[in-house]
Amino acid sequence: INKRNDPANKGFFRPNSTFVPIIVSDSDENKTGHNATQPLAVVDHFKKNMGFMQGMRGFNIIVKPGDAACLAEHSSIFQAGSGGKYGKTLDQFAKMTGGQSYSICEKDYSKSLANLSQAIRQQVMSIELNAVPWKDSLKLTFAPSFNGNWQLQGKTVAFDRPLPVGTVVGISYLTFP
């Protein structure tokens, strides 16, 4: 967030998009007892500096709070590592932003990653075009069909409801010569 104006990050923080941090850790921000940055401070910092974005949803792959077997696995140097802790702070961050936490002890991440992908895709409410379309040249196609409405606002196509998961949007338009 603090490096949003760095040329290397051009296009990473886009207007009306959702920022989706994905954090993977077998520890917790406060594991050493230091006063780490709290989730509310992160959310407030985002709102203050990234008001041009639609929002933020945090996702984590962590030792989920209360999962004693996973904690034991990540606390043992003879198994997965040493110093594992419940990801309480990260779990709180995910819940606060409408995201979700998944277990780092899953043997197969495919279901968790599919769920994460679906959660993110369900939030597509707009698409930013590269340029403002010329006159009425903008044409959209949806596969499968989309039973919602859309509106062009400058170079942004805004939908009245999230696009369904798996929807492919075809976009064509002319630009002013």
Beta bridge partners, 157, equal 127, 152
Give the pTM: 0.66
Tens-place pLDDT, residues 133-169: 999 999 999 999 999 999 999 999 999 988 887 788 9
Burial 49-63 (b: 16+ CB within 10 A, else e): ebeebbbbbbbbbbb
Exposed, middle or buried: residue 87 (CB in 10 Å: 0-12, 13-18, 19+)?
buried
Q: How far apart are CA 90 and CA 12, in angstroms?
A: 23
163: helix, coil or strand?
coil
> Any idea which of 10-14, 45-49, 172-176 has the lowest mean pLDDT?
10-14
Residue 176 tokens, joined: 């002013």
Q: State residue 56 phi and psi, 5-degree precision.
A: -140, 140
Residue 144 tokens, joined: 């499968």
| Pairing relationship of beta strands 168-172 and 139-143 according to DSSP bridges | antiparallel
Predicted local confidence at residue 82, as pLDDT: 64
Within a 10 A sphere around the Cβ of 112, how many other Cβ atoms?
A: 17
Tens-place pLDDT, residues 61-117: 999 999 999 888 887 666 555 668 888 999 999 999 988 999 999 988 888 888 777
